[in-house]
Amino acid sequence: MLILVDASSSVSLAGQIGAQVRAGIVTGALRQSERLPPARDLAESLGVNMHTVLRAYGALRDEGLIEMRQGRGAWVASDASPALVRVTELANELMVEAQKLGMSRLEILGLIEGK
């Protein structure tokens, strides 16, 4: 899997890394349970701060796409799938649009549960 980051992009470096890992899961370049490179190693490869990679990994973990364990690294979740990536992207879009309208998290949740 290829990961490219552009320091001049308006998208954060962590966001770029996260997006490409998501794309890797969608295209099948990253398989379920496949090990991701250690954060320190990936940071050195891309010439970015290790905390940037950890921030990207943390976001992917929160989305349920990867799992992380202290001392054991990160790997693609066994139930990560293109469908999960798509739902996560839609949820992120919903959050952004709703926040633009000034809606609180509780109001967004209420909107979803009301459906």
Q: Which residues bind another protein (CB under 8 A)?
A: 1-9, 34-35, 37, 41-42, 44-48
**Smaller CB separation from another protein, 47 or 103:** 47
Tell me the closest approach of the beta carbon of residue 36 to another protein, in angstroms: 8
Nearest CA to 63 out of 49, 73, 76 is that of 76
Question: CA 75 to CA 6: how far, in whole Å?
Answer: 24
Nearer to another protein, 42 or 60 (CB): 42
Q: Least distance from C-beta 6 to another protein, angstroms?
A: 5
Query: Minimum distance between the CB of residue 7 and another protein, rounded to whole angstroms?
Result: 4
DSSP 104: -
Distance CA 96, CA 92 (A): 6
**Amino acid letter, residue 65:** L
